[in-house]
Amino acid sequence: MEQQELVREILRLKEERRAVILAHSYQRPEVQDIADFVGDSLGLSREATRTDADVIVFCGVHFMAETAAILNPEKTVLLPDLEAGCSLAETINPEDVRAWREQHPDGIVVAYVNTSAAVKAMADICCTSANAVEVVASLPEDRPIFFVPDMFLGAHVERVTGRKLDIWLGECHVHAGIRSEDLAAQLAAHPDAEFLIHPECGCSSTCIFLRPDAKLLSTEGMVRYAAQSAAREFVVATEVGILHRLHQKAPGKRFIPVREDAICHYMKRVTLEKVYESLRDLKYVITVPEEIAVPARRALEAMLALG
């Protein structure tokens, strides 16, 4: 089936199923273009709670579809490809959190949304890269905090808030692959460009040292900033899928990826063909057992309550 026909069939099935399509900013351009809403994890989490659709087709990775299912237990949540996982989420399991809790009975667990539902169920509150600083700053200062699982985002939060955190040593393989030498090369090649860098990047500290005016931002933060900035050129340090959205929201500006091969192959597993098949066959339905969903929902709602 050709792309135009696929798009027509997706739109027809979407209406027939009373469905909404949500897509992360790292998805393929054609998948972003078919979506009703494109955004980062925080925006997608909020949008999932607002929709009155019967079916949510989540064009992202597994933990994101789980989050939508947890927040919308009465809706059907579909993930077009079950193999769309996350290297960061796989770095930690519930037993790791339980072991820390046993050592810190008065501690608070902050779980980045890039975790499994089972890990979220062990947490007190969730966060995204967009609100991690706000979440940690809201917590009591006299209790230990376990931040899981991204060590680079944790270090960023620790630096900004001044709070000492216990940080799990997990990383995203894409962001960890963006090296200090990549930044240095782009700094030399584009001295007048603004630098936008995701706090999951392992080189974020180096970037701040080399370019004190660099902006550490979530994917959605990058989009908002680029749209309102007077600058015409930006170097972008995150997964390259964001470039499509940046060009859409800030037309006429130039966006240079720090690494053109900063690609999450998990994100790219979702295709238009798979979105069509997902709607046609109502596959693959993502469900979360109630004993996990209930405590995970509490942690997610505690995050969303911050605004």
Secondary structure of residue 77 in the 3-state scheme: strand
Question: Is 49 known as a binding-site position?
Answer: no
Q: How far is CA 248 from the centre of its chain?
A: 19
Render each residue's pLDDT in the chain as its tens digit; 307 residues. Answer: 789 999 999 999 999 999 999 999 999 999 999 999 999 887 887 888 899 999 999 999 999 999 999 999 999 999 999 999 999 999 999 999 999 999 999 999 999 999 999 999 999 999 998 899 999 999 999 999 999 999 999 999 999 999 999 999 999 999 989 988 998 899 899 999 999 999 888 776 666 667 788 899 999 999 999 999 999 999 999 999 999 999 999 999 999 999 999 999 999 999 999 999 999 999 999 999 999 999 999 999 999 998 6
Question: Is 87 known as a binding-site position?
Answer: no
Which of 236-250 are b and which e, b meaning 16 or more Cβ less than 10 Å from the residue's Cβ?
Answer: bbbbbbbbbbbeeeb
Question: Is 97 known as a binding-site position?
Answer: no
Look at the pTM and tell me if it is higher than 0.95. Answer: no
pLDDT score of 37? 96
pLDDT score of 31? 98
Question: Is 127 known as a binding-site position?
Answer: no
Question: Is 62 known as a binding-site position?
Answer: no
Question: Is 113 known as a binding-site position?
Answer: yes
Q: Considering only the top CATH level, what class is 178-257?
A: alpha beta
Kind and range of the H or E run holding 191: none
Query: Mutual orientation of helices 62-71 and 290-304 as an angle, nearest 10°?
Result: 90
Secondary structure of residue 102 in the 3-state scheme: helix
What architecture is the 3-85+267-287 domain classified under in CATH? Answer: 3-Layer(aba) Sandwich (3.40)
Question: Is 180 known as a binding-site position?
Answer: no
In Å, how far are 10, 101, 126, 227, 246 from 189, measured between CA atoms?
42, 47, 38, 23, 21
Domain 89-172+293-304 belongs in CATH node 3.40.50.10800: yes
pLDDT score of 307? 66
Question: Is 278 known as a binding-site position?
Answer: no
What is the domain partition of the chain in residue ranges? 3-85+267-287, 89-172+293-304, 178-257
Where are the strands (E) in 154-232, listed by range?
A: 166-167, 194-197, 215-216
pLDDT score of 297? 97
Question: Is 200 known as a binding-site position?
Answer: yes
Domain 89-172+293-304 identical in fold to domain 178-257: yes
pLDDT score of 205? 66
